[in-house]
Structure 1
Amino acid sequence: MPATPIASREAALRIALAARALNSLDVQALVGALVEKLEAPLTESKLGTLTVDDIRVILAGDFAEQGCHVGVEDAALKDAVRLLWGQGVESSDFPVVDSSPGGDIPDSIRVAIAANRGENLDGHFGSCERFLIYLVSLTTQKLIDVRSTVEADTTEDRNAARSALIGDCQIAFVQSIGGPAAAKLVRAGVHPIKKPKGGPAHEVLVELQARLASPPPWLARIMGVPAASLKRFEELVQAEGSA
């Protein structure tokens, strides 16, 4: 399969939502089946040609000619096809990106949140459907992007591709992450933070904002400022030097 079998982010979003509608079908398997039928790259126009029977045959695989029951209700098949056509995508639970002008926020850091539903931290690094990308400062949270992981999951090294997908961030909040995946994320320059209980993204970021004014050493290093816990020692040294 080509390294990038999906032509656009819109096509990737349609496929991700369709896979969820099909009883959370493995996205990589669905992409492979669609490439076999439609050929790469998968474009929005190609996805728009699919029918319910096409999806039923894809799910049945080698047993399609025997009329195999695919284990998915007709309503779900129809929903998946509509999503592949692009219908209902805008009303999905993908949060709305803040497109207001202004560019980067002064003294902000870029934060990724592993998500599956809405604007929540509810995903594991290696299996979440998307990453929500925020600019976060002491006073502001701004959702600047929503990045589907579909294309990353079609590559040979999914964890490396997912790390590269959020490589412009300084921090990634996840419910869980394995050791090898965490190492790849750190090599990409991103600091992983595990919050197993998850929660609304806003609340997670409020906790982070509370630490920005007086950051511990690990966060100060990311921000490029002196650590609060070391500041008093630096002041002491300066005072002794001027005595």
Structure 2
Amino acid sequence: MSSISKAAALRIALASRALGLENPASFIAALGGKLGLPIDEHKLAGLTVEDLRALLIGDEELEIATDIAAPALKQAVRYLWGEQDGDEALPAASSDELPGGAHLRVAVASNSQEMLDGHFGSCPRFLIYDVSTEQALLRELRSTAAADASDDRNAARAELIGDCQLLYVQSIGGPAAAKVIRAGVHPLKFPKAAPAQEALAKLQAVLPAPPPWLAKVMGVESRSLARFAVDLES
């Protein structure tokens, strides 16, 4: 990755998503051919919409149609120039102390605002929450753009949320779920888009008496299993 700066890789990953490209690596290669190596922020800032259109149409590996929508091209160029999430009102993270004792760290795949509405492999960010029985506080908004510039996007995304115990997603494929589990994170699907706080409220409701799978994630004994232990002892 010495041929491209970290900041430039972030811009290119965002532009790739805006264009609907499935292989950012091919896009990086095409940009390298156009701009020369190494690719940096200064070179990307000089690209125009027409430059980008010509580059995409002329690269067979990218397989881009000739009728690329103008709004997508303009948004991609804005990302290449360094403008990120400029039109969207994103939620603010909290530094407040979390009441309620022990807590879980939860990642939420999100496409917009404070919603649980993202696919694991394509969401632009993960919302990171600390959740206790009393409250769920948003701690971070983690962009997935840098992860998307990696050779293994799903593994990089799993590593991005590796400090979490749970992952809430609208959808996730089997191979990607395996990588998330390997990173020590338990994925949970919520097929219907909903406010993140609404989904987390359901989690809070079961924290005092977690089911066996959640008790294992939390590292505590399940109350339902504890009853069987008492019966055996008696």
Measured against the shorter chain, the TM-score band is 0.7 to 0.9
Aligned length: 230
Provide the TM-score with structure 1 as the length reference.
0.77
**CA distance 1:178–1:80, change in 2 (3 Å):** closer
Is 1:179 matched with 2:178? Answer: no
Query: What is residue 232 of structure 1 aligned with on the other side?
Result: 227
Say if 2:15 and 2:76, in contact at 8 Å, map to a contact too.
yes
Return the letter of the residue paired with 1:224: G
**CA offset at residue 209 of structure 1?**
1.1
Is 1:77 matched with 2:69? Answer: no
**Unaligned ranges ≥5, structure 2:** none
**CA offset at residue 195 of structure 1?**
1.9
**CA offset at residue 149 of structure 1?**
2.5
**CA offset at residue 74 of structure 1?**
3.8
CA distance in 2: counterparts of 1:18 and 1:90, whole angstroms: 14
Mean alpha-carbon deviation: is it higher for 176-185 or for 41-50? Answer: 41-50
Provide the TM-score with structure 2 as the length reference.
0.80
Mean alpha-carbon deviation: is it higher for 186-195 or for 158-167? Answer: 158-167
Is 1:51 matched with 2:68? Answer: no
Is 1:86 matched with 2:74? Answer: no
**CA offset at residue 73 of structure 1?**
3.9
- Aligned to 1:151, the other structure's residue is in SS state helix
**CA distance 1:120–1:60, change in 2 (3 Å):** same
**CA offset at residue 184 of structure 1?**
2.0
Is 1:124 matched with 2:119? Answer: yes
Q: Identity, % of aligned pairs?
A: 51
Query: What is residue 109 of structure 1 aligned with on the other side?
Result: 104
Is 1:7 matched with 2:6? Answer: yes
User: What does 1:145-160 correspond to in 2, within 5 Å?
Assistant: 145-160=140-155
CA distance in 1: counterparts of 2:80 and 2:149, whole angstroms: 18
Identify which of 184, 189, 192 aligns with 1:194.
Answer: 189
**CA distance 1:74–1:139, change in 2 (3 Å):** same
Return the letter of the residue paired with 1:72: I
User: What does 1:24-43 correspond to in 2, within 5 Å?
Assistant: 24-26=20-22, 28=24, 29-38=26-35, 43=40
User: Moved runs in structure 1, 4+ residues, more than 6 A?
Assistant: none
**CA distance 1:35–1:217, change in 2 (3 Å):** farther
1:24-43 Cα shifts (integer Å, max 9, x gaps) = 33361434433444456654
**Unaligned ranges ≥5, structure 1:** none
Mean alpha-carbon deviation: is it higher for 97-106 or for 120-129? Answer: 97-106
Query: What is residue 210 of structure 1 aligned with on the other side?
Result: 205
Query: What is residue 164 of structure 1 aligned with on the other side?
Result: 159
- Aligned to 1:135, the other structure's residue is in SS state strand
Say if 1:124 and 1:177, in contact at 8 Å, map to a contact too.
yes
CA distance in 2: counterparts of 1:208 and 1:41, whole angstroms: 47
CA distance in 1: counterparts of 2:123 and 2:17, whole angstroms: 12
**CA offset at residue 190 of structure 1?**
0.6
CA distance in 2: counterparts of 1:101 and 1:44, whole angstroms: 36
Is 1:141 matched with 2:140? Answer: no
CA distance in 1: counterparts of 2:9 and 2:79, whole angstroms: 10
- Aligned to 1:185, the other structure's residue is in SS state helix
Say if 1:121 and 1:201, in contact at 8 Å, map to a contact too.
yes
CA distance in 1: counterparts of 2:29 and 2:201, whole angstroms: 40
Mean alpha-carbon deviation: is it higher for 96-105 or for 185-194? Answer: 96-105
Return the letter of the residue paired with 2:58: G
**CA offset at residue 69 of structure 1?**
7.6
